[in-house]
Structures are given as structure tokens and as C-alpha cells.
A and B are shown apart, each in its own frame.
Chain A
Amino acid sequence: MTSEDAWVDDLAPIKPADWNRARARHLLNRAGFGGTPEDIDRLAAMTPAAAVERLVDYEDERTGALPAFEHSGVYDATLQVFPPSRPAATRKAETTGEAIGVRVKPGGTRRVQPVVDRFFFWLRATALETRRVAAWWADRMVATDRPLQEKMALFWHGHFATGADKVRDYRKMLVQLELFHQKGTGNFRELLVSVAKDPAMLVFLDAGQNVKGAPNENFGREVMELFTMGVGNYSETDIREAARAFTGWSNDDLRFKVEEAKHDASEKVFLGKRGNFDGVEILNVILAQEVTANFIVGKIYRYFVRDDLSPDLQKRIGAILRENDYELKPLLRTIFLSRDFYSEPSVGTRIKGPVDLIVSMCRELGVKRLPGVPDFNSSCGELGQVLLNPPTVAGWAQGRAWITPGMLLARGNLARQMLLPDMINFVDPNLDPGAQIREVNNRILRGMSVTAATSEENPGAAMAEERAMANVLADKEDFNTRYGSLNGWREAVRRVKPTLRVPAQFSLTALVLPAQPKTTTEVVDIMLGRFLSVPLAEKSRLALIDFLDNELGTADVERATTYMEDPLRLLAHLIMSTPEYQLA
């Protein structure tokens, strides 16, 4: 392994003579989501340059007719200006007699209830549509012949992190995702400008609130700290000046607009430059900084290669991005072809993120579509990565941050759900409102009054003085938010398209037998070869062979071919529960 050690920080391309199956696998793991042994064989049969080209210059690849997202049709124009909170909705309704396209009742009880129902309907409907968008995206990752396009879109989603919970409009999230798909491997300058004008981003970082005379610094800060330069390379004054330049930037539903009356067109002093900058000019000043290219390549490198990156290598890679005027493909080609990429510390050391884990599990099993069971969004959530809802504006911390004791257990459990799905207990989470709403629903169905149905369950009079303040406040409201929450759910699940709940269709027997294994030892080695990128300790391998012998009742494979599917699935579960399986 000494040659591979010497390759650290060496950007020279790997020679065809050094190309082999293990390296082809490494490339497919990192530039894509792994694949079947056949996928790896195809890349291994090429020259390294051709293999990299196959992944990076994917425009030549057929798209395999990836289906477009199917909207459920829950949106209409009255939702375009959605109130920032339930109190804001009801205040507006109480003062103007109408909100979110719904009028207040002229008399009777709970006059504002229809507005509250409408408010919760959209919260629920857009959240459910967002889950559908996430699953649709993951399905593309599983099905695509252009894995790098998806892997890069996933990178930019974490980089330009925007959360659907705040944006509250799945359509804007979808528009942003299209942007990452279209420009994710194009030119970073174009991408950055497009993101700054992207409706989801504008809403997420409060652009609408950033107006002349009262700038909101949210975007001005994040664009430098998280999107381009990194902390420590600009001053608080630069942030405020940048915020002024972005004043008036806003969106008209799904379109970018500049409100001239709210734009501060006067002079700014920004990063040492002086001028009547607008937002795009600010971005250009940022892009002229050497630190910007270095920051971006550092993040891309850590995503694709490894965590520790020497300052010298970072500068050299940064120079590649600058010399190519922020075109991303020359950078990606250089990285994926470099000896450094195949050096020992780069290989088998990256912890797969949750989405990567699930998608690569499907691809290794030869599954062509994302399964409906287990539920993709719930599985990802348990592993700490909910697509379209990153935890903060900084996106997801990568690497070791994915792993805690509980997360490791959850990864093994996910594998079990994928391999041996429990259809009998499966409940569609898109139809599951949780215990509280379910209880209110059942009480209403039994004929209870709204007040009684929504009152707190815990009537323990002895502990009355211990009742939390929040519950006391809820009682005083003159319309019923819990009832509204139920009504919102009911309408949303009536109207949002159902998700097909089909488990993954595959046969491990059919995957294993073509290699004509004679013994359980050979079967275990075939399975380890398919699923692991780093070797398993001999003791563990022997335990797996022992396990398979016991399950099959023989070490003779031919004797067991008619009943080996479930034992093979258990074997795969054991392999996918190992710490080694988390590595790519």
C-alpha cells in the first residue's frame, strides 16, 4: 500500500495500468451511489479517464425517462400570500373578515374556525407534498443513469440548505431542486446567482423583509458565511453592506422580482470595493476573492474524497476552479482522476450519509425503483437526514456526525426493513396524524362536542396545579386550534395523492447463484463482495459462514437452493448491520 500512501495530495491522473475493479468501485461509490457487481465491472473494463468521463459528462447518457413529479393539485392562488403564523392568520381574519381565501362566519360559534382549518390544511398538505417530492427525488437517485447529477444536487441541497418547514410551499422546493439538477455540475457563478434569486431561498432567508432603510441581514450573512467564503473572511460591516445591496429582492410566487422602491441603490463599501452595488454585483465581488473558490472546493472535496484536506492541496484545487472561471466539471474530473482520490486515506473511509445509504442499498440489490416500504422519509428521519428539511441553514454535518450509538442500531434496523419488510405492521406515515389528532378524531366521530373532544385527556385533578402553562393558554382561545389541526389533516389526506406501498422486489438467490457457489463459504464471500467496500475481520466472516450453515442445515449450496432466500436475506441483514457497511 506504499504507492497509495505516496499518492496523498498528488493530483496527477491515475494511469490505466493502475486501474482495477476496487478503484472502479471506489469511483462509483463516491461519484454515484455504488452499484451492482455488473455496474462495477463495466467501469473497471474502461480506462480510468473513460470511466470518469462516463460519470462526469453524463449528458450523453440516456435519462431513462425519469418521470416528472406528479402534483396532487392541493395548491391554489389564495395560498400565495400565506400568513406567517396561526395567530397572524386569525388576527387578519378578525380585522378584515377574511384570510387565506376563507371568510369569517357572520354568526354562530367559532366564527374564525374555517380560517384556522384552512391554515392547518395548507401546513399539512404542503408537508405531505414535500414528503412526496423527497421520495420522488430519491427514486430518481435509485433509477438514474446519471448518478453524479443526483449526488451533486444532494450536495448543493446541503450547501444552499433551505427548509420546507419554513418555506411552507413544496412548489418552491421543487423549483429549487430543478435548479440543482440543471446547474449542479455547471458553473458555480451561475448557480450562486440563481440560488440568490430562487424563491425558496428568498423566503427561507427572509428576503421579503429586507428593505431599504431597514435591512434584514439574514441572507447577507449566510451568503458569505455558508455559501461562499466561510467565517472570518469579512466583517460585520460587510454583512450589513451586502444586506443593503440585496434590499428589494423578493419573489412573486415562483418568480424572482426586484421591488425598486424597496431597493437601496446608494453607495456601499463592500470587501474594500466601493460602488452602488446591487445583489449580483455583490456576488461578483465575492467570487473575485481567492478564498471563495478555496472554500467551495474544500467543501466539495470533503464531500467526495475525505475529511482532512491540507491547506496546500485546497489552494491547488481552488486554483483549478478559478482558472476555469468557476466551471465545476474540470474540477470534478481532476478530483476523480487524481491519484489522491485513490490514495489510502481516501478509500473506504467515508461514512455514507442516510440518503446515500438507502439509495446505495437499493442499487447494490439491483432494485430499480425506490421501495414504498419502508417509507423513505421516515427511514431517513430516523437516520438523521430528512430531505428538503435540513436541520439548519448550515445543512447537514457530514462524516462522523452521522453516527451515534442509536444511529448505528437504526441503520441495521433500516436494512432489515429493506430486506425483510414487515408489511403486516406497516402504517403509511402520510396517513398517520399522530396520537393526539387521532384521539380528537375518534372523539368527534363518537359524537363528542368540539370542546370536550379537544380538552386535555389528563384530568388528574390532584395534579391540577402542576398543569403546564401552555395547556392553560390553549383553553382560553376563542377558536379551537386542535380542532383546526384535525380538520386540516382530514382535508389534506383526502386530497394528497397516495404513495404506492410496494416493498423492494429482488431475489438474493438469483443474485448469488449465477456465480455458481458450491459452499456456504463461497456464498458468504459473494455477499461480502457485493455489499462491503472494506474487508471484514476473519472472525466475523467465520461467524457469518457458521450462521448460514445453521440456517441452511448444510454447507452444500446445491442442496439448499430451493429455500435459501430468507436465510440469504438474514445474512444480508447481518452484513448491513456491521460497522464496515457504513463505509464507502
Chain B
Amino acid sequence: MTSHSCDVARREVLRLGLYAGGLAALGVPMSFGGIARAAEAAASGRILVVVELSGANDGLNTVVPYRDDDYYRARPRLGIRADKLRKVDDAFGFQSGMAGFERLYKEGRLAIVHGVGYDQPSFSHFSSMAYWHTGAPNSGAAYGWLGRLADGMDPAGTADYLVNIDSHQSLAVRARSHVPLVFDDPDKFLRTAAFEEESALRAVVTSRDVGNPTQRFLLEVADSAQNAEPRLRQACAEYRTPVDYGLVHFGLDKVAALISAGFPTRIYYVAFRNNAFDTHVQQSDVHARLLTYTSDHIAAFLHDMDRIGRDDDVCVMAFSEFGRRVAENANLGTDHGTAGTLFIAGKRVKGGHYGKMPSLVDLDDGNMRYTTDFRRVYATLIREWMNHSDVSAVLGRDFEGLGVIG
């Protein structure tokens, strides 16, 4: 019912792309009006993709410190032998299923950040995840760090600036002046109605200036749905790629489709759902599988970006709410811990190790002492990647970046 506006939007994208690209190719300086602004937007149109690995990924069995005897002492049964690893250097190796990450690392596109955590850690999935979502431990902040980033970068609240691929909206993207586009299955992002209902439907579902606060909230969301619906489905339906995204498609294939279709989205939030990484019991097989899926999917996405020529524009960060205890438990699993391992990947990322690997013997009640505050990672992404200087407005105060973006 709004296919007209959809076509206009697509034409707009094409037109700007042609003009900017065409003139640049001819060496014409783009110093005038709209075209210059469009070019500037394109130049700074970097896209941040955040991947949440919920349940607390066991960082020690992800990037294994195979030269550290303390690791094998703490994990006599769960420790992964050096010959089973995909070694990346003389200290660390990936789980055997992580061919995708190994390739990214060897291409110099993968930054591994060690010992990521925060003071007075919570061992609760929900509290700790909320701290990561808000970027404000122990605060009960109402908006997410990505929501605040979007508000800071785009106070006008451009539609579809924030996209959350999940069945539910994450606190991380909750914003004051943006209504995030949240979807899981694009085919279900569709209002089905009889032809005769069309005009009445438009009248009853969209904006009106009445009602209680919950009603007004619902109306805002209804507007967002009405606007995004046709473009989103078209983007996903039209996208074709030969790249194999692995066995579990937790959403980056959809991100690729939207990027390819020219969505104005600058921030994507994708979740590997349902606390999957909470491996208390018999973790070896299931953890290896989860890492295989994760590594396959993220590596595939970045290679797909190469393929469509957007590799310079995207950066992926993957995190968990905390790591797990150093020692294995009695059930061939691991319990809730503190510091974790985090990944930043992309063509503009300077690959290598960041943060200091915590000691596996100098522990705080069985847990690693974190070396890198997670908000330093956020500050890195905000300032170095998104070129947004007001880190304090997003994180409450400034944090030193890691120098990951080159």
C-alpha cells in the first residue's frame, strides 16, 4: 500500500549513488549543495553491527591460551589440547570449529580483546546483560548505549536508523528519539488485509493525538511499522548471495540484505538468542557447535560485504555479558564468571590482540580480574569507528579507546 514511497526511496538511493560516484570518477570536486552533503554522508556512513552472544560465552575455551599450564591445571577435562586448536600465534588458538575466525585473523581483520569486564561484576545474566546494554553498570539507566548513540548522532530520529534483528527489542537499542526497527522473520513483517480494508486500515492504525502514555507508545510503533513494512520485505526477498552463512542464521544475512538495499541504518543489533552460551553442564560439544555457528556466520557476513563492495563500511563487534569461571565444574561445564573475550572484526580493523590477558592464578574468588573495561570498547566504536566525538553523552563519561580502527 505504500509501494509508491518505497520506489521513491529506492530511486533516491540510486540517484545519489550515481551522482556521487559518477562525479567523483570524473574528478569533479563536489563542493556544492545536496550532492556534497550526500557524499559526506556516504563517506561517514559507517555501519556498526553488534552481535550479542547471550548466556556468557566461555572465552577461555574460545581463544585458548594453550601455552599456559595454568589453563590445563584449572581444566583437566575441559581444557582443549594444543593439537586440537587452530593456532593463531605462539600463545593462542581458536576452537577447532572456528575456521571463519581463523581466516579473518590471518587476514588481519580480527581484533581479539582480552579480559573485558567491569568493576563489581554481576554474576546474573540479566543484570550483567542490562549493564552491557545500557553501558552503565549498577545504574538502572532507561536507554541503551546504542539508543543514546543514535540519539547523539542523529537527533532528528531518522526512520530505520537503528535495526534490531530479534523477536524482541533489546534494551541496547532503546532510544529517546528513535523507534528501532525490530524484526526476526522478514516474511512475517507484513500486514495482511483485504483490498477493501486498505483505506480504513490506514486510518485506524496510524497516528492520532490522544490517549494515555501506553497508547501513544503503541501509536508510535504503529507508524514505524506502517513505514518500514514494504521496504523491509522487499530488501530481504530480493537479496541473493552465494555466500554460505553457516547452519544457524542468527541475523547477519538479513543485515547484509538491508545494507545491500541501501537502508539508512547505521546501527544493527543482532542476537544469538536464548541464553545459548550458558554452558553449565557437558559443555564441550555444545560450546564447540555454538562457536562454529558464530564464527561461520560472522566471517560469512564480512566476506559478503567484500563481495558487494561494502567492506570498508562495516565493523562487527561480538560480546557476551561475562565470561565463565576459570576452573571447570563437576559436570564438565563452567559456571558464571567475570572477564570475557570480545571480538571486533572488519576490513578497517587492525587485527591482533588488545587488552591484557588476565592471569589464571591470581584470581578473585575463582574468577579472572578484568583488564579492560567494556566501555573502552564502546568508546572505541563510538569515536574511532562512528566518528562521534561526544563519548561522554553516550557513556556518562569519557573512556580511552583501544586504537583498533586503522
In the complex, are the beta carbons of B218 and A351 less than 8 A apart?
yes
Q: How far is the CB of A417 from chain B (nearest CB, A)?
A: 9
**Given known A206-B280, A406-B184, A579-B222, contact A471–B244 (CB-CB < 8 A):** yes
Within 8 Å CB of A473, what residues of B? 97, 292
In the complex, are the beta carbons of A405 and B225 less than 8 A apart?
yes
Complex formed: what's the CA distance from A577 to B293 in Å? Answer: 38
Nearest B-chain residue to A569, judged by Cβ: B194
A95 proximal to B (CB < 8 A): no
B379 proximal to A (CB < 8 A): no
Q: Which residues of chain B from 188 to 204 have any CB-CB distance to chain A below 8 Å in the complex?
A: 188-194, 196-197, 199-201, 203-204
In the complex, are the beta carbons of B205 and A579 less than 8 A apart?
yes
A438 proximal to B (CB < 8 A): no
**Given known A463-B244, A574-B201, contact A84–B97 (CB-CB < 8 A):** no
Complex formed: what's the CA distance from A256 to B182 in Å? Answer: 42
**Given known A384-B167, A468-B245, A473-B97, contact A216–B191 (CB-CB < 8 A):** no
Complex formed: what's the CA distance from A124 to B191 in Å? Answer: 32
In the complex, are the beta carbons of A404 and B168 less than 8 A apart?
yes
In the complex, are the beta carbons of A412 and B191 less than 8 A apart?
yes
In the complex, are the beta carbons of A471 and B247 less than 8 A apart?
yes
In the complex, are the beta carbons of A466 and B243 less than 8 A apart?
yes
B221 proximal to A (CB < 8 A): yes
Within 8 Å CB of B303, what residues of A? 466
Q: How far is the CB of B202 from chain A (nearest CB, A)?
A: 8
B213 proximal to A (CB < 8 A): yes
In the complex, are the beta carbons of A583 and B197 less than 8 A apart?
no
Complex formed: what's the CA distance from A351 to B217 in Å? Answer: 11
Within 8 Å CB of B389, what residues of A? none
Partner of A217, one of B125, B222, B336: B336
Q: How far is the CB of A196 from chain B (nearest CB, A)?
A: 18
In the complex, are the beta carbons of B365 and A236 less than 8 A apart?
yes
B309 proximal to A (CB < 8 A): no
In the complex, are the beta carbons of A539 and B208 less than 8 A apart?
yes
Complex formed: what's the CA distance from A225 to B123 in Å? Answer: 10
Complex formed: what's the CA distance from A577 to B197 in Å? Answer: 11
Q: How far is the CB of A30 from chain B (nearest CB, A)?
A: 14
In the complex, are the beta carbons of A216 and B242 less than 8 A apart?
no
Q: How far is the CB of B279 from chain A (nearest CB, A)?
A: 11
Q: How far is the CB of A243 from chain B (nearest CB, A)?
A: 10
Partner of B183, one of A84, A406, A471: A406
In the complex, are the beta carbons of B275 and A392 less than 8 A apart?
yes
B176 proximal to A (CB < 8 A): no
Q: Which of A38-46, A356-364, A543-551 contacts B (4 or more CB under 8 A)?
A: A543-551
A178 proximal to B (CB < 8 A): no
Q: How far is the CB of A159 from chain B (nearest CB, A)?
A: 14
Q: Mark B160-191, 1 if CB is under 8 A from A, else 0.
A: 00001001110000000001111110001111
Partner of A218, one of B215, B224, B280: B280
Nearest A-chain residue to B97, judged by Cβ: A469
In the complex, are the beta carbons of A406 and B182 less than 8 A apart?
yes
A339 proximal to B (CB < 8 A): no
A526 proximal to B (CB < 8 A): no
Complex formed: what's the CA distance from A409 to B100 in Å? Answer: 37
Q: How far is the CB of A529 from chain B (nearest CB, A)?
A: 16
Complex formed: what's the CA distance from A404 to B193 in Å? Answer: 19
Within 8 Å CB of A225, what residues of B? 124, 126
In the complex, are the beta carbons of B189 and A540 less than 8 A apart?
no
In the complex, are the beta carbons of B191 and A469 less than 8 A apart?
no
Q: Mark B251-288, 1 if CB is under 8 A from A, else 0.
A: 00000000000000000000001110000111001100
**Given known A392-B274, A466-B244, A469-B100, contact A544–B200 (CB-CB < 8 A):** yes
Majority-rule SS of A interface residues: helix
A26 proximal to B (CB < 8 A): no
Nearest A-chain residue to B205, judged by Cβ: A577
Q: Which of B35-43, B108-116, B327-335 contacts A (4 or more CB under 8 A)?
A: B327-335
Nearest A-chain residue to B125, judged by Cβ: A392
Q: Which of A266-274, A278-286, A316-324, A393-401 contacts B (4 or more CB under 8 A)?
A: A393-401
In the complex, are the beta carbons of A231 and B204 less than 8 A apart?
no
In the complex, are the beta carbons of A87 and B205 less than 8 A apart?
no
Complex formed: what's the CA distance from A349 to B214 in Å? Answer: 6
Within 8 Å CB of A543, what residues of B? 199-200, 203-204
Partner of A405, one of B168, B213, B228, B247: B228
B127 proximal to A (CB < 8 A): yes
Q: How far is the CB of B7 from chain A (nearest CB, A)?
A: 21
In the complex, are the beta carbons of A384 and B244 less than 8 A apart?
no
A105 proximal to B (CB < 8 A): no
Nearest B-chain residue to A403, judged by Cβ: B221
Within 8 Å CB of A313, what residues of B? none
In the complex, are the beta carbons of B192 and A416 less than 8 A apart?
yes
B401 proximal to A (CB < 8 A): no
In the complex, are the beta carbons of B189 and A409 less than 8 A apart?
yes
Complex formed: what's the CA distance from A225 to B124 in Å? Answer: 8
B359 proximal to A (CB < 8 A): no
A458 proximal to B (CB < 8 A): yes
Partner of B242, one of A350, A460, A551: A460
Partner of B213, one of A88, A349, A397, A550: A349
In the complex, are the beta carbons of A409 and B281 less than 8 A apart?
no
Q: How far is the CB of B244 from chain A (nearest CB, A)?
A: 5
B357 proximal to A (CB < 8 A): no
Nearest A-chain residue to B169, judged by Cβ: A404
Complex formed: what's the CA distance from A405 to B220 in Å? Answer: 9
Q: How far is the CB of A330 from chain B (nearest CB, A)?
A: 29
In the complex, are the beta carbons of B123 and A579 less than 8 A apart?
no
Complex formed: what's the CA distance from A125 to B67 in Å? Answer: 46
In the complex, are the beta carbons of A413 and B191 less than 8 A apart?
yes
Q: Mark A85-125, 1 if CB is under 8 A from B, else 0.
A: 10110000000000000000000000000000000000000
Within 8 Å CB of A468, what residues of B? 100, 244-247, 292, 296, 300
In the complex, are the beta carbons of A394 and B126 less than 8 A apart?
yes
In the complex, are the beta carbons of A582 and B228 less than 8 A apart?
no
Complex formed: what's the CA distance from A394 to B128 in Å? Answer: 13
Q: Which residues of chain A from 341 to 398 have any CB-CB distance to chain B below 8 Å in the complex?
A: 345, 348-351, 382, 384, 391-394, 397
Within 8 Å CB of A213, what residues of B? 330
In the complex, are the beta carbons of B218 and A546 less than 8 A apart?
no
Complex formed: what's the CA distance from A547 to B205 in Å? Answer: 14
Nearest B-chain residue to A85, judged by Cβ: B285
B151 proximal to A (CB < 8 A): no
Within 8 Å CB of B215, what residues of A? 348-349, 534, 579-580, 583
Complex formed: what's the CA distance from A394 to B215 in Å? Answer: 26
In the complex, are the beta carbons of B197 and A209 less than 8 A apart?
no
Complex formed: what's the CA distance from A378 to B388 in Å? Answer: 43
Q: How far is the CB of A339 from chain B (nearest CB, A)?
A: 18
Top-8 shortest CB links A-B: A214-B330, A405-B225, A579-B218, A543-B203, A404-B182, A547-B200, A468-B246, A209-B331
- Could you show 14 A-B contacts with beta carbons less than 8 Å apart? A209-B281, A214-B330, A216-B280, A216-B281, A225-B124, A384-B168, A392-B125, A404-B221, A405-B225, A466-B243, A575-B204, A577-B191, A582-B218, A583-B215
- A216-B330, A540-B203 known, 19 other contacts, Cβ within 8 Å: A84-B281, A206-B280, A216-B281, A231-B124, A393-B275, A400-B217, A403-B218, A405-B222, A405-B224, A412-B191, A463-B242, A466-B303, A468-B300, A469-B99, A551-B196, A570-B197, A577-B205, A578-B204, A579-B215
Residues of chain B having any CB pair with chain A under 8 Å:
97-100, 122-127, 164, 167-169, 179-184, 188-194, 196-197, 199-201, 203-205, 208, 210-215, 217-219, 221-222, 224-225, 228-229, 242-247, 273-275, 280-282, 285-286, 289, 292-293, 295-296, 300, 303, 329-331, 333, 335-336, 365
